[in-house]
């Protein structure tokens, strides 16, 4: 009999969460931490994490930056992104990234409940702790003045060496940033007015650094680790003058989310000795490598391209009516954008067409990249046409088309028949057809009367669909 998995998934995940949390606590000898957890279990608002696990997604608001989240050669990257992905994986939920379009309003989405967490290189301040809950510090960083080094021929403009020299200067920062508050306090401390200019929210902190480097504005303020990273791209900037003591950098959640906060802190406590250090070295110590990533045409922070075949994908995507970024996400999954890619089974090219399929659409290994992409799109169109009468919903049908592309049409037909035969909805992919495709090779189903196309280890096509749609989600967030 068919079991509606959506009804049970959250319970299984929550059990895993409770077991995992118990292990975290057991390894921590602090009686205070155990008391905090005991009290949290009594609070009705402990359902904050249960809701996330029922939903199956952790929704995080971040910014598109070298520190937080960006795209490089078709893959999502970022110090905070990789930490978040690991945490979501531990919870057994999907990570849903949201990019702030206005830096000044990052906390509005949190307070409204649109997201569960804000991870955007946030400085912990007293005022902010009155309105939201912060995790234990992920990093510590000073605030530094970012200014342009004078050229050898420029004798009039000199580097500022002391905060006292900021009196009367125009410094561009965001209104709701910790930099703004610090400059206000510093203005009082030096007994002179610093002209704090409110930067538009659409200009992120790294854009302001670039504007200083290019001479569009004179000064901005940044966290030292971010400024030092950007100095690798813009050697003409100076970041030597600190305007604060080291401050805590952390993530923020609602005060009504005590269990999420406790779980994050437990996880950070366990991970801080290895994962944070590894990622810090990856993103902040390897300046040369990071510079190559960000300066590349295939970075969402500079060139804005996914791969060198973007224009060809765009040219043919209209045939099937798909977003070109979806086909790019499939290409990344198939070949990592390598036209010479070959599989053990004989599939070749950017879209890994099998020789028999390729021949049906008029291409072979000697055909051009343009022809390979065209043939792959025509094959996708053929599959889409087959499924149109069976799966009327466009978004659902994409999943069936992708799975058929990977596993073959017959195995997906078998999975639909198994779904219908066991009382499921054969027009739904998630928790319905994907379940039976994944389990088609099990002894319970492989000899079923509804299986006509033989044995298949079909975990791969299910994961294939998931990975493509996940990558496509990143593309839509970071590439226009």
Q: Using DSSP, how many helices (H) and how many strands (E) does the chain show?
A: 20, 13
Quote the tokens at residue 365.
């290994």
- Residue tagged active-site, from 80, 206, 224, 334: 334
DSSP state of 237: E
Asked if 189 is an active-site residue, the reply is no
Half-sphere exposure of 154 (CA within 13 A, CB side): 7
User: Which residues have CB under 8 Å from 202's CB, separation 6+?
Assistant: 101, 102, 103
Quote the tokens at residue 374.
């065209």
Q: CA 459 to CA 411: how far, in whole Å?
A: 12
Are 2 and 422 within 8 A, CB to CB?
yes
Q: Is 191 helix (H, G, I), strand (E, B) or coil?
A: coil
The alpha-helical segments, DSSP class H, found in 253-323 are: 258-271, 275-280, 287-295, 310-320
Give me the residues paired with residue 139 across strands: 249
The burial class, CB within 10 Å (0-12 / 13-18 / 19+), for 185 is exposed
Q: Alpha-carbon Rg of the chain, whole angstroms? A: 26
Q: Is 173 helix (H, G, I), strand (E, B) or coil?
A: strand
Q: CA 119 to CA 175: how far, in whole Å?
A: 18
Q: Is 223 helix (H, G, I), strand (E, B) or coil?
A: strand
Quote the tokens at residue 265.
């802190």
For the residues of 309-328, what is the DSSP string, one character each?
Answer: THHHHHHHHHHHT--HHHHH
Measured in Å, how far apart are the chain's first and last C-alpha atoms? 45
434-454 residues labelled b (16+ CB within 10 A) or e (exposed): bbbbbbbbeeebeeeebbebe
Quote the tokens at residue 170.
């125009």
Q: Which residues are catalytic?
A: 334
């Amino acid at each position: 009999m068919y079991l509606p998995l959506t009804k049970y998934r959250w319970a299984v995940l929550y059990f895993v969460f409770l077991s995992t949390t118990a292990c975290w606590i057991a390894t921590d000898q602090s009686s205070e931490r155990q008391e905090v957890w005991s009290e949290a279990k009594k609070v009705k608002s402990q359902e904050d994490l249960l809701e996330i696990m029922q939903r199956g997604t952790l929704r995080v608001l971040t910014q598109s930056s070298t520190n937080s989240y960006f795209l490089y050669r078709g893959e999502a990257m970022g110090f905070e992104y990789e930490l978040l992905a690991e945490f979501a994986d531990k919870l057994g939920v999907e990570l849903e990234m949201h990019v702030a379009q206005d830096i000044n309003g990052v906390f509005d989405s949190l307070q409204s409940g649109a997201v569960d967490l804000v991870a955007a290189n946030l400085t912990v301040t007293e005022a902010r702790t009155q309105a939201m809950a912060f995790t234990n510090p992920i990093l510590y960083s000073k605030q530094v003045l970012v200014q342009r080094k004078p050229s050898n021929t420029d004798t009039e403009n000199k580097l500022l060496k002391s905060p006292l020299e900021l009196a009367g200067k125009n410094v561009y920062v965001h209104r709701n940033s910790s930099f703004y508050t610090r400059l206000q306090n510093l203005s009082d401390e030096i007994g002179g007015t610093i002209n704090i200019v409110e930067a538009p929210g659409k200009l992120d902190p790294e854009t302001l650094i670039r504007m200083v480097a290019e001479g569009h504005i004179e000064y901005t303020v940044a966290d030292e680790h971010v400024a030092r990273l950007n100095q690798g791209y813009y050697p003409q900037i100076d970041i030597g003058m600190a305007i604060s003591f080291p401050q805590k950098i952390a993530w923020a959640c609602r005060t009504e989310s005590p269990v999420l906060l406790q779980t994050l802190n437990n996880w950070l406590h366990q991970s801080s000795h290895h994962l944070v250090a590894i990622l810090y070295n990856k993103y902040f110590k390897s300046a040369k490598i990071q510079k190559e990533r960000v300066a590349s045409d295939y970075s969402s922070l500079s060139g804005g391209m996914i791969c060198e075949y973007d224009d060809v994908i765009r040219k043919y995507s209209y045939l099937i009516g798909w977003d070109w970024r979806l086909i790019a996400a499939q290409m990344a999954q198939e070949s990592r954008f390598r036209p010479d890619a070959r599989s053990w089974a004989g599939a070749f090219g950017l879209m890994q067409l099998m020789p028999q399929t390729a021949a049906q659409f008029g291409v072979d290994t000697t055909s051009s990249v343009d022809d390979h992409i065209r043939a792959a799109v025509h094959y996708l169109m053929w599959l889409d046409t087959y499924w149109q009468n069976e799966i009327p919903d466009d978004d659902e049908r994409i999943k069936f088309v992708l799975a058929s592309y990977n596993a073959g049409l017959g195995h997906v037909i078998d999975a639909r028949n198994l779904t219908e035969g066991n009382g499921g909805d054969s027009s739904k992919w998630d928790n319905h057809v994907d379940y039976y495709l994944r389990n088609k090779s099990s002894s319970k189903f492989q000899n079923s009367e509804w299986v006509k196309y033989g044995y298949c280890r079909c975990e791969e096509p299910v994961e294939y669909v998931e990975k493509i749609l996940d990558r496509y989600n990143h593309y839509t967030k970071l590439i226009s």
